[in-house]
Structure 1
Amino acid sequence: MDVNTETQVDQSEEADIDDELIVQEVVGAVGKSSYRNVKDILQYLIPDLVQKKILNPYEPIIHFWISGDGRNVGRKVKHVMITIAILDDKHTLNQPNYHYTTVLYPGCEDYESLLNITAPLYRDLKNLTL
């Protein structure tokens, strides 16, 4: 997915990631973003959550936690990541391995960029409720 977001470089900010190999890969990916369909994530997770009796197969409601945050990579590129977690799985809610990335893009956390990049996520969530 190509994204038209402005890359902001602020040399005075401290880098969250400073491994030069990672920084070079990130700089090369500027303008590209990735999106994982929520439905695909759920198709992977639901059988295990039903088997563990976290989800009831007869109650078709799953509670999500959608969150996002930005990071600086090598003081060169800001990245924004949006994740979902299953609130019904209370034992793993605070573990990062159980937060599933749906959107990852290089850019700023500004309203216009977020509106543009989250449109597929919004559409998929709306289709889940039908």
Structure 2
Amino acid sequence: MQLATDYPVLNLFWTMLMFFLWILWFFLLFKIILDIFRDDDLSGWGKAGWLIFVILLPFLGVFVYLIARGKSMGQRDMQQMQEQQSAMDSYIRKTAGSAGGSTTEELARLAELKQQGHISEEEFLKAKAKILA
């Protein structure tokens, strides 16, 4: 009960706000440091300069970086997301095409050859096991 009288609700709210702003600050700082290394347009000296600026003067460095390069930072994020999405789509198309389409087509072709009498039951089972393996 003594904690409630020594620590009013407003102080609790203020403490929680400061804690979440502190977490937000570190998230923003790490995002900017990652963006500095990810940017292909910056030279090595440019990356080193921005990194030193952000580490030595963190508040000023982060705000100047956001003002100077914030728009291109968003564009790089969008470009990376699009590249990841296209890579995932390509992988899904390749996997679905090789696993479902061609195997099914080969089994249908084998069944047709068996029905027409071009291959025996034994040959059909061997070829089917080979395709499914």
TM-score bracket, shorter-length normalisation: under 0.3
Q: Which structure dedicates a bigger proportion of its chain to strand? A: 1
- Asked which structure has the greater CA Rg, the reply is 2
- When normalised by structure 2's length, the TM-score is 0.21
The structure with higher relative contact order (CA 8 Å, sep 6+) is: 1
Q: Which structure dedicates a bigger proportion of its chain to helix? A: 2
- When normalised by structure 1's length, the TM-score is 0.22
